[in-house]
């Protein structure tokens, strides 16, 4: 493996293929797979992910916003792409690039149909999102008649799928709530198919749903964090491999005398002689200030080096008093050890946030291990 000479995010496509195969092996052979690659593929590289997943047989991609779907289309990805949060301002690129909108309200439905009619579309695929308890986006059961009547009046759209999103599929103490969401989804999907007169694809499981509620896999599942190598449980994490490794390098080493301070606001004060390394990564790269003052750490030659003082915009200083290392040595921020999950726990966060925080300033490098 190449040694980092600057801050890089390495994306291991072999690990991605492994995670895809591991997750899909849990499914019935007929269940379709939608890979969620929103937010640059959870901070990694959506295009590289998509190019790896297409030959593996992925059925669908999902992104949050239309612009993310355009990036995939520009990379010649022809697989259907669901846009989870389209906005009326993006209807134009959605139709121009054959992106498929998630429609979540009566206004969105009528607005999109009017737009599709204006563009002389026939049977343009739309996806209906139902709110079964997350209370974020979605129709409710009481909207079904309106939806069916509205869709029946036009030939411009066809309901390709109906779906919902679980609020706490990873949390087994919330099993009764999740079961209630699944029951609502069942009732909604039955009513919807009856009123539409055809059966759209149904899907409601995210990664932890696949693990904990396989009986509710319906026609398709949606996995995002699982492809990244996290299963929201220690047991699942054993079988998955984190695909992203954030690496950097030691820029300079300092010996701090007792009584001296390090960094902005003099937040660290040395009580004894302390050796520090300055690293070219800061909050502008996605290392939150919350990691400062010993909460977070990096790994140098397999050993933990805690962050000293405040995180700067472009740099952090870490304590290397106990580590033999020199300028130019490689530093691991997260990857296989520690994982993004483990590091994020130190600031009460989750891997979803840490992974997607890695800013676009950080070079992405794709590899196969």
Q: What is the smallest separation between the CB atom of 207 and ligand PLP, expressed in angstroms? A: 3
Catalytic residue among 51, 65, 264, 295: 264
Based on the residue annotation, tell me whether 264 is a catalytic residue of this protein.
yes
Nearest alpha carbon to residue 325 among 282, 279, 277 = 277
Residue from 15, 81, 84, 162 binding ligand PLP (CB under 6 A): 84
- Please tell me whether residue 165 binds ligand PLP under the rule CB under 6 A: yes
Size of the site for ligand PLP (CB under 6 A): 11
- Please tell me whether residue 226 binds ligand PLP under the rule CB under 6 A: yes
- Please tell me whether residue 138 binds ligand PLP under the rule CB under 6 A: no
- Please tell me whether residue 36 binds ligand PLP under the rule CB under 6 A: yes
Q: What is the smallest separation between the CB atom of 363 and ligand PLP, expressed in angstroms? A: 24
- Please tell me whether residue 206 binds ligand PLP under the rule CB under 6 A: yes
Environment class of residue 69 by beta-carbon count within 10 Å: exposed (0-12), middle (13-18) or buried (19+)?
A: buried
- Please tell me whether residue 224 binds ligand PLP under the rule CB under 6 A: yes
- Closest CB to ligand PLP among residues 121, 206: 206
CA–CA separation, 178 and 326 (whole Å): 51
Residue 307: CA count within 13 A, CB half-sphere: 30
Residue from 32, 127, 222, 283 binding ligand PLP (CB under 6 A): 222
Catalytic residue among 38, 42, 104, 218: 38
Residue 303 labeled ligand binder: no
Nearest alpha carbon to residue 262 among 280, 248, 276 = 276
Q: Cβ–Cβ contacts within 10 Å for residue 135, how many?
A: 8
3-state secondary structure of 199: coil
Contacts of 235 (CB under 8 A, 6+ apart): none
Cβ(32)–Cβ(48) below 8 Å: no
Based on the residue annotation, tell me whether 218 is a catalytic residue of this protein.
no
What is the Cα Rg of the chain in Å? 23
Q: What is the smallest separation between the CB atom of 34 and ligand PLP, expressed in angstroms? A: 8
Q: What angle do CA 73, 128, 126 make, to 5 degrees?
A: 40
Site residues, ligand PLP (CB under 6 A) = 36, 38, 84, 165, 206-207, 222-226
The residues that are catalytic are: 38, 264
- Residues tagged in the binding site annotation for substrate: 136, 313
């Amino acid at each position: 493996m190449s040694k980092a000479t600057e801050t890089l995010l390495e994306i291991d496509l072999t690990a991605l293929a492994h995670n895809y195969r591991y997750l899909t092996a849990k499914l019935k052979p007929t269940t379709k797979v939608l890979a969620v690659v929103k937010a640059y593929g959870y901070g990694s590289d959506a295009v590289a992910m998509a190019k790896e997943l297409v030959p593996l047989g992925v059925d669908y991609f999902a992104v949050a916003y239309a612009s993310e779907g355009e990036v995939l289309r520009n990379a010649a990805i022809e697989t259907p792409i669901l846009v989870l949060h389209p906005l009326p301002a993006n209807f134009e690129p959605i139709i121009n690039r054959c992106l498929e909108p998630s429609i979540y309200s009566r206004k969105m439905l009528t607005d999109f149909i009017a737009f599709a009619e204006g563009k002389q579309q026939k049977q343009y695929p739309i996806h209906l999102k139902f709110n079964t308890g997350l209370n974020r986006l979605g129709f409710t059961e009481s909207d079904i008649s309106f939806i069916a009547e509205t869709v029946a009046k036009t030939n411009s759209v066809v309901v390709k799928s109906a779906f919902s999103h679980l609020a706490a599929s990873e949390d087994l103490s919330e099993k009764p709530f999740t079961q209630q969401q699944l029951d609502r989804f069942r009732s909604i999907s039955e009513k919807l198919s009856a009123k539409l007169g055809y059966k759209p694809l149904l899907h409601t499981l995210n990664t932890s749903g696949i693990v904990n509620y396989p009986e509710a896999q319906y026609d398709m599942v949606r996995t995002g964090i699982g492809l990244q190598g996290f299963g929201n449980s220690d047991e699942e994490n054993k079988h998955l491999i984190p695909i992203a490794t954030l690496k950097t390098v030691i820029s300079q080493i300092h010996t701090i005398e007792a009584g001296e301070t390090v960094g902005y606001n003099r937040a660290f004060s040395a009580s004894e002689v302390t050796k520090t390394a300055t690293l070219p990564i800061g909050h502008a790269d996605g290392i939150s200030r919350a990691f400062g003052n010993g909460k977070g750490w990096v790994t140098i030659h397999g050993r933990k080096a805690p962050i000293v003082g405040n995180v700067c915009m472009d740099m952090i200083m870490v304590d290397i008093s106990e580590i033999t290392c020199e300028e130019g040595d490689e530093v691991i921020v997260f990857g296989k050890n520690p994982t993004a999950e483990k590091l994020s726990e130190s600031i009460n966060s989750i891997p979803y946030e840490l992974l997607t925080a890695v800013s676009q300033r950080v070079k992405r490098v794709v590899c196969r291990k």
